[in-house]
Structure 1
Amino acid sequence: MRLRALSKLSTAIVLVTTSATAFAADQAEQPEAGGSASSLEEIVVTAQRRAENLQKAAIAITAVSADTLTRAAVTDTTALTRVAPALQIGTLSGPTTQFYVRGVGKFTANSLTDSAVSVNLDGVPLARDGAIQGLFYDLERVEVLKGPQGTLYGRNATGGAINLISVKPRIGELSGYLNAEYGNYDAVRVSGAVNAPLGENTAIRVASTFSNRDGYYTDGTGDDRLRAVRVQLTTAATEDLKLTVGGDFSHVGGKGPGATVQGLDRDKYIGMYDPRAGAVISTKFAPLSGSFLTPITGRPYSDNTYWGLYAQADLNVGDGTLTVIPAYREAKLRYESAGSSFPILGNLDAKQTSIEARYASDSDKPLSYILGGFFLAERPTETPAFNQQVFSAYGTFKSKTDSYAGFVRVTYKLSDTLRLSGGVRYTVDKKSAYLDAYNIVVICPSFLAGGPACIGTPPLPNVATVPSQFVLPNGDAIPVQLWGTSGAIVTNTRAINTPKRTFKKATYRVGFEYDAAPQSLIYGGYETGFKSGGFFNSLDNPVYQPETIDAFTLGSKNRFLDNRLQLNLELFWWTYKNQQVSHFRQNSVGGSEFVTENIGKTRLRGFEIESRALIASGTTLSATVQYLDSRNLDYVYNNPIQSGPPNTGCPVSVSGAAFIVNCNGRRAVNAPVWSVNGGIEQVIDLGNSGTITLNADGRYQSSTFTGFEQLPAMREPENLIIDLQAQYALPGGHFTIAGYVNNLTDKAVSGFSTPHPFSGSYIIQNLRPPRTYGVRMGYKF
């Protein structure tokens, strides 16, 4: 039934596109009315480290303009899923965000692992997933690069890259804007910017945003408390030198992201701290402790601060431009969240210093190139506390990363229409860490031996540091002691690791570009990607190895009918090797560890079709269809047999002292077969009375697993989300007022799910926003 429905949807899109082509042909010679657009907009991107028209960029990329970001209410990273079908984003505990591009991504929950999708702000990579909040304001555009970016972006871009491009100061211009919004959940959002000249050759831009919104969940979580400001100054010091310096600061408060327990009515967004969730949790039995879990206690909160400084110098040298971007960023995170099925008390201080220098030759020459070097130093310090009631971990993680890279990208014009390109990057990641963690486990010896349970065993306390009753005065762990009066005991082990590794890898790209017509580009390429290995704290081997990806791409970008019809097609075939997977796993002594391990090979292949059609002077249709065929080809891992059968939806067998989990043939996680975005925009010109703009956008996604374990309850069914907006603008566009509704049908959709490590039938779901609606007003000068 789903395939038939999808077939009808795809057929409808084809018919709409075909009709648009025919209608645009009929209208091509007709005069435009009232100054309405007579062609599709042109978007300039810098994804390949040069400014170029999006339709001339020979890469797989989605670029989203500022107007689209506003209409789609993209105010944080999770909302990018609304405008980029290839991108799947989920919010975990606290500020942690997971990114997946076509099934390539990473469940990252602490400072010891890296994302597989690189996020960059104005050319500066953001090393920590938890350090990317509070940046979605006063943006010129967002670029989503699909597939490995092994030459120009390098490490931690196996899945792709997300570029946030802020609006830069404009020399000689006095301008600005102020936007205000009010919506349900008592949502108040105000943002604005002022651009002012400072003499003939210098300008300053100050932008800020403020937002307050009540939580979507019944316990108050899922709220929004953001304060942010960004200041940038640009000067054209000489005819050949342009310098931009900037800084930003943001604070994210409130209660933070939320989740609900699978089995409750998720349409009601019942939060983890709600007594109704506690009643369900109390029915879940934990075999290790021989007792039932208890409701989650604590106080969810976020107190996260981010700031950074950067500069960009562009110097015309000879027949090219030398660009240097030094930057420094810090994030200070303090939070408690139960978004991973149990409370996590997070405490992270992350500092990073980076510099990139590159020389880009004149692209008009037969031979053009980009030559550069990159350095990143990252120093995160984290002291997390994980409380799973029958297991608690208290860690001190101090890690150090020094990453060096050199790269070159070359394009040679064989003729006026055919170009060949190639590139290589060599990366050296030097990593070391001090890892110290207590692992406290509640055990019911009688129940594990086949005897009576230990009903009534109290949970471990939910505190930020290891309780004094479990350690000796010198800090050593007390190995065993009684716990409660039910016959349970507590064991405590302390693992200290000081791993040190250097990971090296050369990644490369080869490709071609062919101008089949003035407005038609055919391109293809093969590119490799690399993400270095790292560490986790464990009683066993705490090192995981790098992951790699090989990607073939063949695409075509086209504009027809005097820029009134756009039709782009991309075919891709990726092979994902040694994928790094992070999950909770019990160790050989019965404790729970958050491990990262390498798992075999995954194949991802499919196509994406993107179309836009200006079928009349004020009517634009758009549609993007992605088909993704993903298969785990070598996806096998094991659990110690002492810890009991693993909680998984994949087949399990026993070999020696281990359970073998075999997920071969399964689809990749966060990889729906079909992702479809479609929309229509109607501009009604009222002449001297202004304009009305109507927008309707829809997003369809077929079913997919949203968690590593691939349990049946973790399969998210197909869903369709519809957004509507109506906007009125006074003549000249200086004042606008709009009404909007997002998620019209109030569909609850899970972006991430995970089971409790010690009670497999207890699964939580992190939900995307419910129906929101409100009014926006804007003034610009």
Structure 2
Amino acid sequence: MGRFARSSAGAQRAKDTSPHGGFAAIGCFGAALLVLSPAAASAQALADGAPVGGSADAGPAIDQADDIVVTATRRTEKEQDVPFSTSVIEPRQLVASFAAGGDIRALANSVPGLNIESSAGRTFPRFYIRGYGNTDFSIFASQPVSLVYDDVVAENAALKAFPIFDVADVEVLRGPQGTLFGRNAPAGVVQIQSVKPVLGETSGSFSLAEGRYNSASFTGALNVPLSDVMAARASVQVQHRDDWVSDPINASRLEGFDDVAGRLQLLYQPNARFSALFNVHGRHQTGSARLFRANIITPGTNRIVPGFDPAAYYGDSRNTAHFDSIGASARLMLELPGVSLVSITGYETILSYYGLSDTDGGYGAAFEPTMGPTVTRPDGSVIGIPFPVSSAGAIDDHHQITQELRAASDYAGPLNWLAGLYYFHDTTTAGSLIYEQTGTTLTSSNHSRQDNDAYAAFGSLVFKPSARFDLRAGLRFTHDAKTFTIVDAFNQSFAQTRARAKGDNLSGDLSATYAVTPDFKIYGRLATGFRAPSFGAPTNTVGIQIAKAETNRSAEIGFKSFLADRRIKLNADIYYYRVRNQQLTAVGGADNSTRLLNARRSVGYGGEVEMDAKVSDRLQLSASAGYNRTRIEDRDLAVAVCASCTVTDPRNAQGNALIYGNPLPQAAKWTLDAGVAYTVPVAAGRELFFNADLAYRSSVNFFLYESKEFTGRPLADLGLRGGFRWGDGKYEVAAFCRNCLDQIRVIGAIDFNNLTGMINDPVIYGIQLSGKF
């Protein structure tokens, strides 16, 4: 890992528009595949001599690596049989993060190639898979990564923030998922499945945690049988953190939150052929909006200024945020001879959202001498801002309706099929509000409505002529139409108040898998994806912005294997993708505008390797690595730049940065993860345990242009958890920490003011009591 870190740090500033360096790295992955392939095929024979970690008769039997069941192809099958790159995040991997008050962004610490960030804190997360995502912070923004929660797509970015609790697993599906999921997902899918009710069983679980800054967390679940054919499961998560950041200007404290979410499920299963699962869920969250901190980056570098105190903030505006949502779904399934029928109906609504923050991130503009005393940092630097402004986003009304119907065969013969229809409707009315510096007097605003309807028909075939070989193909036709209307505006005028956009697309995939041995399979996949035209936030100078539809073509080869008598699971892949007309967002410049645009082409290539090993009945290890190289390929595309940073891109005649060859924003070249779990039995049914995980990502570019200040430094996140378990694993008490190295980094920025950035959470440590019954 240290070798990877040094390599990334040494190369992070070099701007290489040539692909040779990237192909060299991807070539290493390809060579690794070739080297590991024969090794995997013969590993069983090599392992027969003695178990890992001792002689054949030493100690108890060693468990095998998990053969996890997933629904990545809308069928229930083993992860190792899925012909594309997948990762499964089990609940035990997330315990420390959520005990420390973590939200859905914690998933990025668990698998390679996945990044999740937000400029709105615990709301509006933005997902990236293999560097392919969208930095647009508009409430109407679309994303190429789709989040599917309990079989229902969460389209609006705010819905993607629904907390993760009482879940069975999280599946990360890399590459285009243009056949089987939602409106289409050109970058990939993150799929979350809750624990479902169980007939005839009374059971449950609980977890209580308390940590630094009074970071309190409670999670509870209860499964209750209602009759022989009905069962219910109720689950809840409550998270709280005290305000731990002091704002002396406003004599206030910030960065606390209260986040409550609940889910009630009802299962009706009168026989083995029919089942109906109903789900109602909701969330209520209050606290601080995201803190934008002006002047925290040392000019000419990407390092935080000396003497910076994360617990101190100097702003001149009010700060507040709240969010409420509720949703429901019904999943009906009927098993007929040789065919299963599924209907999934979903409804989601955001009841209210309002987030107000000090957009300028500072205090004391040079032309505002009446604003009070000058604020000076410990290093003697004066906190100044070019202009004062506060802004807020609000959702006035939101409704999402989805309906999916599909049928799948289950024949004994070599050929099986799946076919379905999909409908999506979303209506969002939202406002953008600008205030004077204290956040009390509204100076301008606009409220807009976006209506989106999409229809799709899809199908796939699976052909298995032998036990070793299978061939799969799928197609999906999508029609997507949007209307954008400016409902009202205060102190703003727009020449255009209504716009329409639509797109039709036929996407598909073709894959093949060959089992060299029962425990070693190689696969290849070609796939395409589609994202419909998008609207950007309207501005006085630009009006309603429209980005053309984007398409993605991807190729991937890899293998999935079990080694050493199935004690080690080792998967690896290499990939290449090319996006045409990628929708990108440029922020800032002299007019402080947000510009939605298309790049003619962008490409990405790299590979991932994942390993899980059950070394002994006491020791489990995991490790993964991802290399990802992205590049914007549009020689004429130029964007406005910041006024106070050191831009390294060439400029055009207008002074804008030419971004040809730049990486995509938030796309790290290297992502690394490692974990260890160790137990020590102390008595019958009792043991000590220790878990550690380390996630690393190399540097990232915050914006489309490159500058010294707005390049995020490499970030390592260490998590530790250890304690005592008793009752044959039913109960445990543990101490934990998250970001144990207390590594504070700038992880996002605003580029139209004085080197304004956002930081990650500091170290959180505490204790936790949990149990199940």
TM-score past 0.5 threshold: yes
Where in structure 2 are the equivalents of 1:58-73 lying within 5 Å? Answer: 58-73=83-98
Where in structure 2 are the equivalents of 1:654-693 lying within 5 Å? Answer: 654=653, 661-688=657-684, 690-693=686-689
The residue that corresponds to 1:458 in the other structure is none
Distance 1:429 1:48 in 2: 23
TM-score by length of 2: 0.84
The residue that corresponds to 1:395 in the other structure is 446
The residue that corresponds to 2:293 in the other structure is 260
The residue that corresponds to 1:479 in the other structure is none
The residue that corresponds to 1:274 in the other structure is 313
Supply the RMSD in Å over aligned alpha carbons: 3.2
Aligned partners of 2:116 and 2:125 also within 8 Å: yes
The residue that corresponds to 1:503 in the other structure is 503
1:585-604: per-residue Cα shift (whole Å, max 9, x none)?
A: 56xxx854423111121111
Correspondence 1:777 to 2:773: no
Range moving further from structure 2, 706-715 or 690-699: 706-715
The residue that corresponds to 1:316 in the other structure is 335
Aligned partners of 2:515 and 2:522 also within 8 Å: yes
Query: Cα offset for 1:351?
Result: 0.9
> Against the structure 1 CA distance between its residues 689 and 124, is the aligned structure 2 distance closer, same or farther, given a 3 Å change threshold?
closer
Correspondence 1:111 to 2:139: yes
> Against the structure 1 CA distance between its residues 324 and 496, is the aligned structure 2 distance closer, same or farther, given a 3 Å change threshold?
same
Distance 1:648 1:562 in 2: 54
The residue that corresponds to 1:334 in the other structure is 354
Query: Cα offset for 1:86?
Result: 0.9
Q: Which amino acid aligns with 1:746?
A: D
The residue that corresponds to 2:67 in the other structure is 42
**Secondary structure of the corresponding residue to residue 185 of structure 1:** helix
Match of 2:262 among 224, 229, 237: 229
Match of 1:432 among 465, 469, 483: 483
> Against the structure 1 CA distance between its residues 636 and 364, is the aligned structure 2 distance closer, same or farther, given a 3 Å change threshold?
farther
**Secondary structure of the corresponding residue to residue 180 of structure 1:** strand
**Secondary structure of the corresponding residue to residue 81 of structure 1:** helix
**Secondary structure of the corresponding residue to residue 69 of structure 1:** helix
The residue that corresponds to 2:607 in the other structure is 607
TM-score by length of 1: 0.83
**Secondary structure of the corresponding residue to residue 106 of structure 2:** helix
Correspondence 1:423 to 2:467: no
Query: Cα offset for 1:3?
Result: 5.9
**Secondary structure of the corresponding residue to residue 303 of structure 1:** strand
Distance 1:229 1:593 in 2: 38
> Against the structure 1 CA distance between its residues 8 and 333, is the aligned structure 2 distance closer, same or farther, given a 3 Å change threshold?
closer
Correspondence 1:121 to 2:121: no
Distance 1:698 1:140 in 2: 23
Match of 1:698 among 684, 687, 694: 694
The residue that corresponds to 1:345 in the other structure is 392
Aligned partners of 1:649 and 1:711 also within 8 Å: yes
> Against the structure 1 CA distance between its residues 744 and 521, is the aligned structure 2 distance closer, same or farther, given a 3 Å change threshold?
same
Match of 1:413 among 450, 458, 464: 464
1:145-187: per-residue Cα shift (whole Å, max 9, x none)?
A: 1111111125352221111111110111110011100111111
Aligned partners of 2:265 and 2:279 also within 8 Å: yes
Aligned partners of 1:535 and 1:542 also within 8 Å: yes
Distance 2:419 2:502 in 1: 24
Query: Cα offset for 1:683?
Result: 1.8
Match of 1:305 among 302, 324, 337: 324
Range moving further from structure 2, 69-78 or 221-230: 69-78
1:441-491: per-residue Cα shift (whole Å, max 9, x none)?
A: xxxxxxxxxxxxxxxxxxxxxxxxx4xxx5xxxxxxxxxxxxxxxxxxxxx
Where in structure 2 are the equivalents of 1:244-643 lying within 5 Å? Answer: 244-263=277-296, 265=304, 274-275=313-314, 278=315, 296-298=316-318, 300-331=319-350, 332-338=352-358, 343-348=390-395, 349-362=397-410, 364-387=412-435, 393-435=444-486, 466=490, 493-536=493-536, 537-538=538-539, 539-540=541-542, 542-584=545-587, 592-634=592-634, 636-638=636-638
The residue that corresponds to 1:473 in the other structure is none
1:128-149: per-residue Cα shift (whole Å, max 9, x none)?
A: 1112334311111111111111
Query: Cα offset for 1:125?
Result: 0.5
Aligned partners of 2:640 and 2:656 also within 8 Å: no
Distance 1:69 1:24 in 2: 34
Match of 2:104 among 77, 80, 89: 77
Distance 1:157 1:711 in 2: 31
Distance 2:486 2:475 in 1: 34
Higher relative contact order (CA 8 A, sep 6+): 2
Q: Which amino acid aligns with 2:413?
A: K
Corresponding residue pairs, total: 694
Range moving further from structure 2, 660-669 or 604-613: 660-669
The residue that corresponds to 1:30 in the other structure is 56
Query: Cα offset for 1:766?
Result: 2.3
Distance 2:346 2:58 in 1: 47
Correspondence 1:242 to 2:275: yes
Distance 1:24 1:396 in 2: 68
Query: Cα offset for 1:690?
Result: 0.5
1:358-402: per-residue Cα shift (whole Å, max 9, x none)?
A: 111116531111101110110000012145869965111111001
Distance 2:710 2:48 in 1: 45
> Against the structure 1 CA distance between its residues 272 and 582, is the aligned structure 2 distance closer, same or farther, given a 3 Å change threshold?
farther
The residue that corresponds to 2:649 in the other structure is 650
> Against the structure 1 CA distance between its residues 82 and 416, is the aligned structure 2 distance closer, same or farther, given a 3 Å change threshold?
same
> Against the structure 1 CA distance between its residues 314 and 338, is the aligned structure 2 distance closer, same or farther, given a 3 Å change threshold?
farther
Identity of aligned residues (%): 23
> Against the structure 1 CA distance between its residues 192 and 324, is the aligned structure 2 distance closer, same or farther, given a 3 Å change threshold?
same
Aligned partners of 1:236 and 1:243 also within 8 Å: yes
